[in-house]
Every structure is written in C-alpha cells, then in structure tokens.
Structure 1
Amino acid sequence: MKGTRLFYTSLITMLLIGCAGNQQGIDSSLYDGKPIDTLSSEEPPKTEQEAISRGDAALSIGNSDLALYEYIRALSFENGEYKDRALYNIGRIHQSRGNLALAEKAFLLGIKQNPDNIKVLEQLGTIYSKMGDLELGKSYFYRAINADQVRLTTRNSLSGKGVIEPEQIAVLKVDQYSPEYAYMGLGVIADVDSDHKLAQACYKQALSIKPDSVKTLINVSYSFYMSGEYRKAQRFVVQALKQEPDNEKALNNLALIYLGKGEITRAVNVFSRHMEKPEALNNVGYFLILQGKPDKAIPYLQQAIDSKSSYYKVANENLERALALVREQSSAGISSKN
C-alpha cells in the first residue's frame, strides 16, 4: 500500500513538472530565450488576439523574449485565425538575433498556415539569398510579388521560368504595403548576374514603395557604378548620405565613383571620412589596381607606406602587385612594337 501511494505521488509530481514546462501547450521548439517562468506572472491570454497583442506590446518596449513567448502562446489556440501573423513575428525575432534556423522554421510553418502571406514569403527569400541559395531565394521573392499583385487585383505576375525582362518588372503595380525587400532582393541577385538593367528596374520599384530607403539607394548607386553610369550612381548615393552621412557603405560607394570618374583626390578625402589616412591611401591604390590603373596606384601606395610604418605590410604587398603589373604592361608594349 505504501509503495502504491509513493508511485502515485511520484506520477503526480512528474505530471505537474510537465505542465509547468509546457504552459498552454506551448511549442518550446520555437522558443530560444531566458527561462519561461521568469517572463510573466500575468494570467494566460484568453484569446489568440490577446496573446498577439501582448506580444506586440512586449516587442514595442524591447522585451523580445516575452514577445516571443506571447506569440508562441498565440499558436496554442485551436482554429486560430492569425497563426501566420504570429509565426511571422516569431521568425522576425529569431532573424534579428541571427538565428536563421529557427527563423526559417517559423516562416515555413507560416507558409503552411497561409501560402500567400506576402511578408513571410519575402523573408524566406531574404534568408535563402543570404545563405547563398540565390535560386531558392529568387523563387520566394517571385511568390511574394505575385501574392502582392493578387492583393492589388492586377493580372500581372512573374514566372520562375525563362528570363525576366526589365519591362516585366516596370509594369508591376506597387503601393506602400508592397514587398520592398523582395524587389530589392531581386535587384541584388540581378546585379550578381551582371544584369544591371534588370537590377535597376527592380530597385526603381523598391524606391516607389519606400523612396527614402538607404539600403535601396546604396544598392541602385552601386548598380549604376558597375554599369559605368557614374553620374547616376553619384546622384543616388548622395541621397543616401543626406539621410545617413556616416554610412560606411555609402561613403565607400562614393569614393569608388570618384575613382571611376578619375577624381582621385576626392576619393581619398571620402575614404578618410571613416578610416585613417594611410588606410584611405591604400584603398585608393588597391581599387586603382582593380580598375587596371596600376601606374596611378603606385604613388598612393607609397604614401600609405611612408605615413604609417605599421601599415607597411598590406600597402607594400599592393605596391609590389602594382609594380609587377606595370612591368607586365611595359613588356607587352615592347613586344607589340617588335
């Protein structure tokens, strides 16, 4: 009898521990934060909407662990209408923390709940693109844009088959709620493929959605730089710098544009705005080498070496490369004359 009582006491204890560790059927596989029992002493939410509202409130004050917990609790309500929204928020929190595996899991569950959730599709495209799977990323960007065209009641769509032309991007309808990052992501992928006209058409749509997007302005500037359209490139990067004067990517783009235009002193000055002078001089020399101008690179690399001996190794390696290229060019010139 005593043994039976002890068995049931142990069983009840185990059940209580199990309930405490899995409140309201919470899916702990989507949680990654401090212990749940330290998060909130409030009564459990009575509805899905209440749980999501609590999550939104927690997120607004920077308590991402509590927000994550509340959004996951929203998933425990059977026949919930907003599971894809909760899963999107869960994914975004994990994404902001750099936990792409959990973000991907949440977003894929969100797509199961609603295959046409534009925001979820867009973020999956972003994740896969960052992971290096550009084709998969592109397919989700297409799906996000196509779902948005349905929302906007148009007959336009993008097919994953065949080559997409800039004109096909230009006719797509957008508004302030359209997936900016899907268009920007397609633009980046097009630039990687050296299809700069397509990239610029994508960036134009992204800027129609959010005209002051610094990221898009920098990307479109770099696209025009790569296609040799330096004046356009400069116009867009200057717009970005008006909003964020210390943005390093924008400053680097502007310096590269000046180098492309042959305005080397200006390039040095721009690089010097966010790095030490020797590093700026070395950068100018390095990029002049990449642009096929090793002879012009030499004096700037020598200045970098002279101005900071601790920077000697990097600048000297670049100087040796520049001198070797100049010798090769001279030899090639002599051979062609003979």
Structure 2
Amino acid sequence: MQLFNSGDKTRRVCRRVKEGSRDRMMRFNRLSPDLRPLFVLLILFAFLTGCAPEEPKRDRELNELADLVRENPDDPELRFRFGSAFLSQEPPDWEQAAAQFGRAALLAPASRDAHFNYGVCLARTERYPEAEDEFRRAISLTPDFAPAWNNLGVIHHLHHRFEEAQGDFLRAAELDPASYEAVFNLGCAREKLRDLPGALEAYEAAITIRPDLPHAYTNAARLYYLAGRYADAIARLEATLEIEPDNPAIYYNLYQCHRALGDITKSEDYYKTAVTIDPRYAEIYGEARQFITLPQELVMTTPPQGGTP
C-alpha cells in the first residue's frame, strides 16, 4: 500500500532522511542521555513533515476551479467543469453540482449535457418536477439522446405514471439497445402494469447485457417462482449467488424453490445458511411459504464522462 505521494520532492526528502540516518546516529550516541529524547522527537518531526502526503489532487482541482469561477462567473464551460468536479467526489455533492450545472444551463441554454446533468442532480436531491423539465429540455435539443429518455422514465415511474414510463424506457431501449438501464427499467414498468411475460423478457434481456448486476436476476427469479417455474427460478438465484454470495434473501428464496420441488434436504440446507447469515430471518419469515421480494431498484443513467457545456 502506498502511504505517501511519489513526487520528486517527496522522494528527494525521503532519500535525504535515509542517507543522513548514519550521521544522525553517530551524533545521537554523542549526546547526553537527557537530550536524546528531544533529538528523537526532532528527527521524527522532520521525517513526517518531509514525507507527508500532498494536498489531495481532487481538493486542489476544486479550489482551482472555484478561483476560476469567481474570476469568470459567466463562463458556462467553467461552471460545467465545476459541477463535474463535485460529482467526482466520494460521495458526490449533488447539491453543489446542481448549482453549477443549473448555472451552466442558464448561460448555455443550447447545451444538452448541461440540462441533462442538472436533471440528474435535481433527481438525486428529490426535486423531481424540475428534473423532469431538464430531461425534457435535453430531449428537445437531442431527440435521440437515450439517457434522457431513460431518466425521464424513472421520474414517471416514481410518480406511478407507469404507462408513460414504459413508453420512455421503450424509446431509450430502441435508441440504445445496449442500455442495461433502459431494458431493466422497462421490466420494472411492465411488472407494474401486470405484463409479467413482457417484464420477464426485459429482465432476461438485461441479464444478457449486464450479467454482472444482480437485480435483473432476482426480479426474473421472482417471476419464475410466481409462474411455478421453480427450476428456472433456482437457476437465476444460483447465478445471483456468484455476484452476492452473502445475501441471505437469495438463500431463503432458494429454500422456498427447493421446498416447492419437494427437495427437503436441499431446502433445509439453504434455510440454515440464510439464518446463519442473518438470524432475523428465522424470526421474521420462519418456514412460511413466502418468496422474499427484493428491492426493485430503478437504474438512472448518470452524467457521461466529460460532456460539452
């Protein structure tokens, strides 16, 4: 693990500390016992000061951009870059990013990416009506921009406008067939509209696009279970274990599927594993015939890297 920055200045300081260690030891031996502790503290202070990490690069960039924005407050490109810098933080500062992208969108109203990024930040801070307006503005500027259609669908879905959401997700998937977000979200909307075969088709397509993400597997498994297709549900749940091996809900649902097939031994093994990982499962669910519905998480397309203000 690298503890210190490896810049030239740091390397030179550390090299000097190392090369001078022999001379210091000789001087140390010549010191009286009373002064030796003070000498050690001075050497330690010099070492830590010389080899301390530099200011994090990300913080420096933020400070530099802040200075530039203060000097040029009406530059949309600087505002856009400033907003992107806030998004690169861990966790992202959605509020600050929204302020910068919003200003960029006002200064450059023809910027699709400024409106789109502003919409994402507004949605993340639960300002959904404003977010919807921004996604619509992005679409008006670039009608074939799939991410904006997908995110507009997420807003509609959150407000239980499932027919509109389905149309938005379909449009996004038509424009970008490789969009996992649009295809998975389409499954969620169809499920809300009780089109279970259509939802299952969308979830399976999402798995093909992104086999490393768990939600499409678990949603498909639930629909297979409800349709009595227990073997198919088991196949999807077992695949999910490769991604989330410590998720007790998956083991509990495997217990339900194997019990439905009459495989008592396997079902009991899965039940024991579930309650070992989370003992609350024994108290909350017990051995009831209940398939746990895992959270159905819609996927919003995040701002693209870079972009043009």
Please give the TM-score of this superposition, normalised by the length of structure 1.
0.55
C-alpha distance 226-88 of structure 1, shift in aligned 2 (>3 A): same
Q: 2:104 aligns with which of 97, 104, 110?
A: 110
C-alpha distance 257-305 of structure 1, shift in aligned 2 (>3 A): closer
Report the equivalent of 1:85: 77
Shift of residue 67, structure 1, vs aligned partner: 6.5
Q: How does 1:24-43 map to 2 (within 5 A)?
A: 35=55
Query: Aligned AA for 1:107?
Result: F
Whole-Å Cα distance in 2 between the matches of residues 74 and 312 of structure 1?
52
Whole-Å Cα distance in 1 between the matches of residues 128 and 267 of structure 2?
37
C-alpha distance 212-91 of structure 1, shift in aligned 2 (>3 A): same
Whole-Å Cα distance in 2 between the matches of residues 193 and 302 of structure 1?
41
Report the equivalent of 1:280: 250
Report the equivalent of 2:130: 136
Report the equivalent of 1:122: 116
Q: 2:88 aligns with which of 70, 93, 96?
A: 96
Whole-Å Cα distance in 2 between the matches of residues 284 and 183 of structure 1?
36
Report the equivalent of 1:220: 186
Report the equivalent of 2:209: 243
Whole-Å Cα distance in 2 between the matches of residues 209 and 69 of structure 1?
39
Whole-Å Cα distance in 1 between the matches of residues 165 and 138 of structure 2?
17
Shift of residue 135, structure 1, vs aligned partner: 1.9
Whole-Å Cα distance in 2 between the matches of residues 305 and 234 of structure 1?
26
Shift of residue 66, structure 1, vs aligned partner: 7.3
Cα deviation 1:259-308 (Å, max 9, x = unaligned): 3433233223322323348642324679x9xxxxxx99xx8986643345
Whole-Å Cα distance in 2 between the matches of residues 247 and 132 of structure 1?
25
Shift of residue 79, structure 1, vs aligned partner: 10
Secondary structure class of the residue paired with 2:239: coil
Identity across aligned pairs (percent)? 17
C-alpha contact 2:254 2:270 (8 A) present in aligned 1 = no
Q: Unpaired runs of 5+ in structure 2? A: 1-53, 291-309
Q: More displaced, 210-219 or 85-94?
A: 85-94
Give me the CA root mean square deviation.
3.6
C-alpha distance 227-76 of structure 1, shift in aligned 2 (>3 A): same
Report the equivalent of 1:181: 147
Whole-Å Cα distance in 1 between the matches of residues 248 and 255 of structure 2?
11
Shift of residue 322, structure 1, vs aligned partner: 4.0
Shift of residue 187, structure 1, vs aligned partner: 0.9
C-alpha distance 215-65 of structure 1, shift in aligned 2 (>3 A): farther
Query: Aligned AA for 1:143?
Result: R
C-alpha contact 1:218 1:253 (8 A) present in aligned 2 = no
Shift of residue 89, structure 1, vs aligned partner: 3.0
Q: Unpaired runs of 5+ in structure 1? A: 1-33, 40-63, 149-173, 289-294, 325-338
Query: Aligned AA for 1:136?
Result: E
Q: 2:169 aligns with which of 203, 210, 213?
A: 203
C-alpha contact 1:285 1:318 (8 A) present in aligned 2 = no
C-alpha contact 1:218 1:240 (8 A) present in aligned 2 = yes
Report the equivalent of 2:219: 253
Please give the TM-score of this superposition, normalised by the length of structure 2.
0.60
Whole-Å Cα distance in 1 between the matches of residues 274 and 168 of structure 2?
44
Cα deviation 1:60-117 (Å, max 9, x = unaligned): xxxx66776776676577698xx32332233123223212132122112212312342
Q: How does 1:54-73 map to 2 (within 5 A)?
A: none
C-alpha contact 1:281 1:301 (8 A) present in aligned 2 = no
C-alpha distance 212-308 of structure 1, shift in aligned 2 (>3 A): closer
C-alpha contact 1:196 1:227 (8 A) present in aligned 2 = yes
Report the equivalent of 1:157: none
Shift of residue 252, structure 1, vs aligned partner: 2.0
Whole-Å Cα distance in 1 between the matches of residues 67 and 229 of structure 2?
59
Query: Aligned AA for 1:223?
Result: A
Shift of residue 247, structure 1, vs aligned partner: 1.1
Secondary structure class of the residue paired with 1:212: coil
Whole-Å Cα distance in 2 between the matches of residues 272 and 205 of structure 1?
32
Cα deviation 1:215-261 (Å, max 9, x = unaligned): 11111122222222233223322222223212112222222332343
C-alpha distance 130-221 of structure 1, shift in aligned 2 (>3 A): same
- Higher normalized contact order (CA 8 Å, seq sep 6+, divided by chain length): 2
C-alpha contact 1:72 1:86 (8 A) present in aligned 2 = no
